[in-house]
Structure 1
Amino acid sequence: MRAADALDAYVDPDRRVPLVALAPLFAAAVIGTSLHTASDELDRTAVRPWWRLRLAHLLILTALTAALLSAAVVGHASVFGPPAMVRNTLGCTGLTAAAAALLGARLSWLPAFGYVSAVYLGSAGTVRGRWSSVWAWPVHPGGAGTGAWAAAAVVFAGGGALYVVRGARAETGRP
């Protein structure tokens, strides 16, 4: 028995919600800023498109982040365990990837931060309703059903595809 498992009995599962919601958000913000490329002209004029490199970059960072963050949370899936951390990492990274393609890598963290913060503060610990698992996926337990997983997967696939096809928006102005 690990020491972390022994502590799990005394930790209120609702207190994991900030960790499970905010840790993937901060990690996705770092991933989003790493999507910046200083070679926009090279990307547009290259013989081979760089979509494979962008895809590999995004998938490797997302997989590494999901693995490391899910190891930090012990417990059963029904009380915000590793599955919730993986799901939130996928969803937040998809939001930042889409924002990198639309707003630029420098501001890619902003939409994800706004959405996760609004859901976290608006849910007030309990989220009920028929479609709540779809719109409030960051604060649902890992075993809450397929709605939260489907929403996070769609956000990751859509945002990742947008970033892979378009790349990060060129930064304008002074640094």
Structure 2
Amino acid sequence: MTGLRALRLYARTRAALATLAVLAATALGAAWAAQRLLEQPGAGPTARLPVVVLAPLFAAGVIGTGLFTHGAELERGAVRPWWPRRLAHLLLATALAAVLLALAVPGHFDAYGASATARNVIGSTGVAAASAVVLGARLSWLPMMVCTALTSLLGATDPADGGVAAAWAWQFRPEDDVRAWVTALAVFGCGASLHACRGTRPDNGG
């Protein structure tokens, strides 16, 4: 019972139910938008690319802000290590978001569907997790949004681009691009490890 109470307390301090509700709403919105894009005249394989990029970006922001806690300093000074809980929390939230959005945007390799969406959730959440350590949970959405905007503005969103673009513009790559997958997984691994070890930066703004 003590373990169950601790789990419930942890979930409440991270606003887990609110995060779950927003992720579910995000998936519903993504499903609606993806279908509308496919119904447009002349819709091609990249028609759903905006949803495949933006929905995971929003979901990662939701997960990142959900990492906020008022007791960050207490966690660092606790007798029992908190890194397993932080890691489990991030892994579960990422897996849930990836599954929900993948179901919302189904499709094949040439249609920017479920696989690309799940990949983008994984990579974007890794950036958000690392950002929560550096900037705090409330601003964890910002770096990934800036990276996405810069990638788009620099014109590296063409699926036909290869080479280095396939790695640093991984959000915009086709589902079967191995380099994009490697980049996303590496980013998530680094972000998750950093957050598990360091935790979220304390918010001194109250």
Q: TM-score, normalised by structure 1?
A: 0.89
Specify which of 157, 162, 172 is matched with residue 189 of structure 2.
Answer: 157
TM-superposed CA distance for 1:73, in Å, is: 1.1
Greater mean alpha carbon deviation, residues 35-44 or residues 153-162: 35-44
Specify which of 122, 126, 133 is matched with residue 166 of structure 2.
Answer: 133
What are the residue-to-residue correspondences of 1:4-23 with 2, within 5 Å? 11-23=43-55
Given residue 61 of structure 1, which amino acid in structure 2 is its aligned partner? Answer: A
Unaligned runs of 5+ in 1: none
TM-superposed CA distance for 1:12, in Å, is: 2.2
TM-superposed CA distance for 1:97, in Å, is: 0.2
The answer on whether the counterparts of 1:36 and 1:105 sit within 8 Å (CA) in structure 2 is: yes
Unaligned runs of 5+ in 2: 1-34
Specify which of 113, 125, 134 is matched with residue 81 of structure 1.
Answer: 113
CA deviation vs aligned residue, 1:43-102 (integer Å, no higher than 9, x gap): 122110110110111000000000000011122123211110011000100000000001
What are the residue-to-residue correspondences of 1:4-83 with 2, within 5 Å? 11-83=43-115
CA deviation vs aligned residue, 1:92-130 (integer Å, no higher than 9, x gap): 000000000011001100001101122133336515231
2:175 matches 1:142: yes
Q: Separation in 2 of the partners of 1:122 and 1:22?
A: 17
SS of the residue 1:47 aligns to: coil
Specify which of 87, 93, 98 is matched with residue 125 of structure 2.
Answer: 93
TM-superposed CA distance for 1:7, in Å, is: 6.2
Q: Separation in 1 of the partners of 2:101 and 2:162?
A: 29
Given residue 163 of structure 2, which amino acid in structure 1 is its aligned partner? Answer: R
Which residue does 1:122 correspond to in 2?
154
SS of the residue 1:168 aligns to: coil
SS of the residue 2:107 aligns to: coil
Two-structure CA RMSD over aligned residues (Å): 2.2
Percent identical: 47
Name segments (4+ residues, structure 1) moved above 6 Å: none
TM-aligned CA distance change 1:124 to 1:159, over 3 Å: closer
Given residue 45 of structure 1, which amino acid in structure 2 is its aligned partner? Answer: G
Q: Separation in 1 of the partners of 2:191 and 2:99?
A: 20
The answer on whether the counterparts of 1:120 and 1:138 sit within 8 Å (CA) in structure 2 is: no
Q: TM-score, normalised by structure 2?
A: 0.76
SS of the residue 2:47 aligns to: helix
**Count of residue pairs the alignment pairs up:** 170
